[in-house]
Structure 1
């Protein structure tokens, strides 16, 4: 069997939030890794200096062919893409181009180069508004926005490619990703981010005046939306285990939810931020956003049964603490007050 340490990995979007954590997880596991990122939303400082970095676009077939050959790439972890749901509604063709058309180009380049393993950053948005929660991988996929559709289309392309070519894949459907590297090496750095915990810690540090609570009349215990929050470093670790599984069984492809299987409401998250920071964030009660489900919680049974994945940071206060630590460091990096 091939030793995973002998399989160099190209991480697309490796200067972004989740991608940069995957780079660290691979590097910490002694793997060979290279990064391609066009730095549209990523940051060069998020990629360690000793990791080969290529500034460019995954649609650039000539660039990819050169990277694949130079770095002797044996697997691709694909994070590059656009992720803001309301923006996908406003600019659907941009999302289908960036998330679907470019993913197709990346796949074509990987197939042409004979790269056998592909890990894809998918999303719980492929489920739309599920009728049941927790959500299993067999829950009907019924996206309600272009973002969700763009990811589901890519999953379908991967499935079809795996049936036609000597390639296997793993699609990991993320629930709500939060937190930051416990050692403070990287974190969520995007300005204007919409992730609740990111927004809340910005408010706690005075970078925002308040936090909007979108919807207080959901059919949940306190009326606010319930979500399954997963620490980004645990998510990154899942990618490393998934790659090992693909290498160990080249004929098998996988699709798995990434979450902890328990949910917290918006108000519970804000209460936790208040608790961790020992202050009170101002909350502004606002109308629901179109398409927000009342509750979206993963059933993580498949990933727990398939991979030797043991979350290390499955605690809400820990997730918030790491996010807060990174936000403070980001203030220093940017020279803000």
Structure 2
């Protein structure tokens, strides 16, 4: 299995190897706190072992649900926001055809997938309803609480649409709820109505949940091999589990960011060269923004799509404030 290459040779004029090596003790301490659960936020470290420590029965249930949706639906509507949305969309857009939803059904072979509930826009909601027309569809509503405003509004609209088209009982068969295992408004409704339900683990925060049913069900519906996705994540877990800074690319990246931040570089830009990676950038910004933006500290995560943004943001990146890396 291929590994990502990481090189920091272009940072050499700004960061010396001596500075990087000096980070080794801090890196080792952070590693120990994460892996033995002694640091802040230790209640939400389930993502660390998620690629190997997951519910096999639930994964099989996700795959069965995906096959059912593929068999009875032209479209899957995925309702969610933030961590209940960005990871799944990033994965689907980077792993499928660039024009997946526009392909003819006999070429695509799997349902179209549209995301909603990530904005307040009534125009977007109405346009998506109009696009559905007479197509058969199912809904995957993703929310740990069930009370987040944007998904709640979208779910109300599409639940009503399902009930109008298929009747109350038929609608229940087409709603898939991904939510908390025991509590919350969506969990209560799913139990009462008998929706097919999948669990967001208590120890996995929303932004880290793409390898739970939050991301796996939409991915599987699109034909993504989720067994292989988990296998790749498990391989990465092995590659990056050493506490040795010299051997761990992830920790080298972390060390460089820390050093540059202390030197006044407060904005980090992630650059992609493929349009299909735009939502990977958006997901990355949430991962870093929510994780680091605390106590009036942190690096501001930004992103650009090259080469397109070279012709708009390129000037500022090259000749603007020297706070960017």
State which structure, 1 or 2, has the greater radius of gyration over its C-alpha atoms.
2
- TM-score category of the 2 structures, normalised to the smaller one: 0.3 to 0.5
> What is the TM-score of this pair, normalised by structure 2?
0.36
> What is the TM-score of this pair, normalised by structure 1?
0.35
The structure with the largest strand share of the pair is 1
